Each structure stands twice: as C-alpha cells, then as structure tokens.
Structure 1
C-alpha cells in the first residue's frame, strides 16, 4: 500500500478533504499534516487525525513565512511518530518548502509531488519581489517528480513561460468526487420553472471576490426580486469590509454557511437554478485561468453556469455550447444576459448541460485508483526525464 505524507496549506479547506478522500479511495494510506487557517468541522476526515504545524492567516504573507519557518524547525518533533513515506505531496508553494525539509529528515530520496491549484499574485509580479518568488519556487521544486494542476491555462500562462519548473505535468480537474456505482451516475433532473417564486443564482465554495458580491447585489436589487442570490461556503473575511453586515442589508441575498463536499452537493444545488462560475479575485490572472470547483459541481447537478467571457471557464463552456457568458462585469450587462430568461430558455440551457457525459464533471472510484497507480509508479521508479512544459498542453498526463 502506497504511504503518502500530504502537506496541506489549510486543514479546514474542503478541497483538501476531497483530495485525501480520493487518495484513500484509490488505495493509499495517507498521513495529513498542515496549517490551520480557521475552524471548519465539516472538513474533518474519518480515520484521519491531522498533524497541526501551526496557524496561518489569509492575506498575511509575512506571518505565513514566519509560520513556515517555525514549522520547518519543529518538523522533527511533529513527525517523530511518522514512518518514512513512499511519497510526499505538497499542496502549494508554502508546503513545498516544508516538504523539502521533510525529505531531508527521511534520508533525502523521498519523491515529492507539487500540487499547485492557484497561482498567487506574488508569483506573477514583474518586479524584484516577483522574480524572487519564482526563483524560490523553481529552487524548491527542482527535485519534484510531478506537478499537479487543475487548469490547462495555468500551464499555458504561468508554468510554461514563467515558473522555471521543468517537471512532468498531470492535469487533475476540480471534478466532483463520487465513489458509487458508475451506472448510478446520472445528472440531476433539471429544476422546474418557478412560476410563484424567483430564479435563484447559487454562489458556492470559496467566497473571496468582493466584485462578485457587489455585482450580484446590484443586479438582484435591479431585478426587484425576480432573482435571488444564494451563498454557501467559506467567506475570506480578509477580502471584505464586513461580509456578514453586507449580507444582512441585502433584500435578495442569503448566506447559509459551509457545506460538506461531496455529501451535501445534491441538496444545495437542488435549491438553485444557475451557478455563479465567475471570480474576479486576482482579476486578469489566477481568476482568468482557473476552472473552479463550482463549475463542475453545478453542471454535475444540471444547473446552468454563468461565466465571464474571455476566461478559461468561458472557453471550457463555449466548446461544449453550455451556459451564459457575461461580456462585461457590469450590472447592465448581467441584466441584459439574464433579464429575459423564462421557463423555456432555462429548460433548453439545462438540457444542454444534462446532455454532457457525466465523466466531464465526475471523478469516480476507478479514477482514484488510476491516480494512486500513477503516484505509485513515481514512488517506485527512478526520476523520469522532465516533460517540457512547452508540450504540456498537447500531452497533459494523467486524469482530466
């Protein structure tokens, strides 16, 4: 059985929970270690008692550097009871530093997999600070045996031209984890028209985009109750002046807190008609390139996605003829896009989503096994020659 030591930047992140569940379902034994960035009981994983390395805070770069330094110094004590793993996975650049320290503790030959699902704005700066960050990433990732990322645009716009990494690439999209029988994987029925109530737009997941919040607020007020905005997930309070106060003052917007993924997805998506698949956080950079969890979750459950034209999400949807694409991030444009929606146009959009193969949205048990098989091959073989990142879009390895 493959023994994996997984370093996470946030033990309360639902996406970390999903990744651990995937690895366990694939047959690996996982030891989880990482930082706390807030409480979230719904991120607990049965059978996993994480090793806490410290506490970090959103938007506090200097504090994070200090916490990482302290964690590296305390690592021998923290991992005293942990046997030598077959493989170490480092989720983001912070954890790549900790993983390198752990490798030196275990004898210097434990392979590292670098998992990077967001490109921090500091890595994209063109000044001395940005060059220093990229040099640090290239240095810390020099011995990584695999790079896992979730969007081809990350490879095209960052890893290939800027990162300095020469590492084999696996594209691992943010699909919904479903471990049941494949024959049971049917797209949820399209929501029925709401003749006596408003259309509902769901914005679920990592809530960190002030611009989206303000745009949806103005839009819902302009529509005078024809549309309601339903928010669920974990707000990044550092990105808002007063998130809770803002929501309290909104007549057509509600926030329902965190949820468990994948267990709660069916219930929460059944309550909405559209998925807000737009994110202006780090606008023009990370937000333009990512393929968010909510894209896959909403489409898996037959809900119609709304995306921003010119982004990787919009490209993904346009190729498949899905969703509604917003031309400009302005209330007038959103009113023009959705104001004329009726039962027929909505049913047609839902039908196009439902017609897609469920494999587009779902990560199954066999996919988990294939992932662990790929990782096992890395752990059991000598380093393979790096696939040039210039070829990554043509031959992205692994699971997508």
Structure 2
C-alpha cells in the first residue's frame, strides 16, 4: 500500500478533505499534516487524524512564513512516530518548504509532488517581491517529481512561461467525487420555479470575492424579487468589510452556512437554478485562469453555470456549448443574460448540460485508483533513477499530462 505524507496549508479547507478522500479511496494510506486556519468540523475525515503544525491566518503572508519556519524546526519531533512515506505531496508553496525538510528527516530519498491549485498574485509581481518568491519556488521545487494543477491555463500562463518549476504538470480537475457511501444521489432535474417564486442563483464554496457579492446584490435588488441569491460555504472574512452585515441587509440574498463536500452537494444544488462560476478576486490573473469547484458541482447536478467572457471557465463552457456568459462585469450585462429568461430557454440550457458526458464532472472510484497508481509509479522511478516523461493529453483530460 502506497504511504503518502500529505502536507496541507489549511486543515479546515474542504478541498483538503476531498483530496485526502481521493487518495484513501484510491488505495493509499495517508498521513495528513498541516496548519489550521479556523474551525470546520465538516472537514473531518473518518480514520484520518491530522498532525497540526501550527495556526496561520488568511491574508497574513508574513505570519505564514513565520509559522512555516517554526514548523520546520519542530518537524522531526512531530513526525517521530510517522512511518517513512513512499511519497510526499505538498499543497501550496509554503508546504513545499516543509516537504523539503521532511525529506531530510526521513533520509533524503522520498519523492515530492507539488500540488498548486491557485497562483497567488504575489507570485506574479514583477518587482523584487515577485522575483524573490519565484526564485524560492524554483529552489524549493528543483527536485519535485510531479506538478499537480487544476487548470490548463495555470500551465499556459504561469508554470511554462514564468515559473522555474521544471516537473511535468498533471491536470487534476476539481471534479465531484462519486464514491460508494460518500456521495449523495444526483440532484433532482432542474425545473423552472413555480409562478411567483424566484429564480435562484447559487454561489457556493470559497466566498472571497467582494465584487461578486456587490454585483449579485445589485442585480437581485434590480430584479425586485424575481431572483434570489443563495450563498453557502466558507466566507473569507478578511476580504470583506462586514460580510454578515452586508448579506443580512440584502432583501434577496441569504447565507445558508457551510456544507459537506461531496455529501451535501445534491441538496444544495437542488435548491438553485444557476451556478455563479465567476471570481474577480485576482482579476486578470488567477481568477481568469482557474476552473472552480462549483463549475463541476453545478454541471454535475444539471444547474446552468454563469461565467465571465475571456476566462478559462468561459472557454471550458464554450467547448461544450453550455452555460451563460457575461460580456461585462456589471448588473446590466447580468440583466441582459437573465432578465428576459423564459422557461423554455432555461429548459434548453439545462438540457444541453444533460447531454454532456458525466465524466466531464465526476471523479470516480476507478479514477481515484488510477491516480494512486500514477503516484506509486513515481516511487519506482525514484528508486530506479528513471526520469518522468510527460505525455501529450487532451486540454481538459483529467489526470493527463499537459
């Protein structure tokens, strides 16, 4: 059985839970270690007791560096009772530093996989800060055996032209886990609201975009009850002046709390008609390149995604001939797309999603097993000193090399 040490930047992140479940389902034995950024009991995983390395905070880069330094100094004692892993996965740059230290603790022969699912704006700066961070990434990642990322645009716009990471990239999209005993049934088919009831737009997951919140609030007020906005997930309170107060004061917007992923997806998407698949958090950079979890979740459950022109999400939807695209990031454009919506046009949009291959949205038990086999191959190649050769794959072929 493949032994994996998974180093995570936030043990309360639902995406960390999902990745751990993926690896365990695929047949690996996972030791999870990382930092805590907040309480989230819904991120707990049966049978996996994480090793906490300290506490970090959103938006406080300096504090996170200090926490990583302290964790590196204590890592040997923290991992004293952990069997030597066959492989270490480092999620994000700060965990790559810990992975290098862990390799030294375990004897210097453990291959590292770098998992990078967001490109922080600091990494893209052209000043001394950006150059220093990219140099650090290149130094820490010089022996990395594989790069896991979730969007082809990250490779196209950052890893190939800018980053010094030389490891072959593997696309691992943010698909919905479909595992026996874990995922709930697919949501009921999308239907138009009853007469007098509102259309509902669901914005689920990591809620960190002030511009999206303001835009959805303005649009829902303009529609005067024809549309309601439902928010669920984990608000990044550091990014909002007063998230709870703002939402409370909006007549057609409500926050319904956190949820389990994938267990609760059918219920929460079953309540809405549209998925907000737009993020302006790092506009023109990471936000334009990512393919968010809610894109796959909403389409898996037949809900119509709303995207922004010029983004990787819009390109993804265009290839499949589905979804709605805003021309401009304002309420007028949203009104143009949704204001004249008819039951028939909505039914047509939902029906186009239903014709897509389900494999576009889901990650099955067989996919989990295939991923773990690919990771296990790295340990053989490391022992035999055989270089990894990236093979060509389809642009959006999950699990394929880019």
TM-score, with normalisation over the residues of structure 2? 0.95
The question of whether the paired residues in 1 share the 8 Å contact of 2:151 and 2:173 is answered with yes
The question of whether the paired residues in 2 share the 8 Å contact of 1:55 and 1:67 is answered with yes
Q: Distance in 2 between matches of 1:189 and 1:180?
A: 21
Aligned-residue Cα RMSD (Å) equals: 1.8
Deviations 1:279-305 (A, max 9, x none): 001110000000000000000000000
For structure 1, the residue ranges without an aligned partner over 5 or more in a row are: none
Q: Secondary structure at the residue paired with 2:35?
A: strand
In the alignment, which residue of structure 2 is the partner of 1:82?
82
Deviations 1:302-330 (A, max 9, x none): 00000001000000001111111001101
The question of whether the paired residues in 2 share the 8 Å contact of 1:169 and 1:397 is answered with no
Q: Distance in 1 between matches of 2:330 and 2:258?
A: 28
Runs of 4+ aligned residues of structure 1 deviating over 6 Å after TM superposition are 184-187, 391-397
Q: 1:116 to 1:58 in 2, by over 3 A?
A: same
The question of whether the paired residues in 1 share the 8 Å contact of 2:201 and 2:230 is answered with yes
In the alignment, which residue of structure 1 is the partner of 2:350?
350
Query: Where in structure 2 are the equivalents of 1:140-289 lying within 5 Å?
Result: 140-180=140-180, 188-289=188-289
Shift of 1:212: 0.1
Q: 1:211 to 1:394 in 2, by over 3 A?
A: closer
Query: Where in structure 2 are the equivalents of 1:323-338 lying within 5 Å?
Result: 323-338=323-338
Q: 1:386 to 1:374 in 2, by over 3 A?
A: closer
The question of whether the paired residues in 1 share the 8 Å contact of 2:187 and 2:269 is answered with no
Q: Distance in 2 between matches of 1:301 and 1:213?
A: 23
The question of whether the paired residues in 1 share the 8 Å contact of 2:11 and 2:43 is answered with yes
The question of whether the paired residues in 2 share the 8 Å contact of 1:190 and 1:351 is answered with no
Q: Distance in 2 between matches of 1:32 and 1:326?
A: 40
Deviations 1:212-234 (A, max 9, x none): 00000000000001000000000
Q: Distance in 2 between matches of 1:13 and 1:163?
A: 25
Q: 1:386 to 1:128 in 2, by over 3 A?
A: farther
Shift of 1:381: 1.9
Q: Secondary structure at the residue paired with 2:145?
A: strand
In the alignment, which residue of structure 2 is the partner of 1:398?
399
The question of whether the paired residues in 2 share the 8 Å contact of 1:247 and 1:253 is answered with yes
Query: Where in structure 2 are the equivalents of 1:374-385 lying within 5 Å?
Result: 374-382=374-382, 383-385=385-387
* Bigger shift: residues 192-201 or 57-66: 192-201
Q: Distance in 1 between matches of 2:396 and 2:220?
A: 43
Q: Distance in 1 between matches of 2:307 and 2:365?
A: 29
In the alignment, which residue of structure 2 is the partner of 1:102?
102
For structure 2, the residue ranges without an aligned partner over 5 or more in a row are: none
Shift of 1:194: 2.8
In the alignment, which residue of structure 2 is the partner of 1:70?
70
Q: 1:186 to 1:251 in 2, by over 3 A?
A: closer
Q: Secondary structure at the residue paired with 1:373?
A: helix
Q: Secondary structure at the residue paired with 2:245?
A: helix
The question of whether the paired residues in 1 share the 8 Å contact of 2:142 and 2:165 is answered with yes
Q: 1:371 to 1:386 in 2, by over 3 A?
A: closer
Shift of 1:384: 4.3
TM-score, with normalisation over the residues of structure 1? 0.96
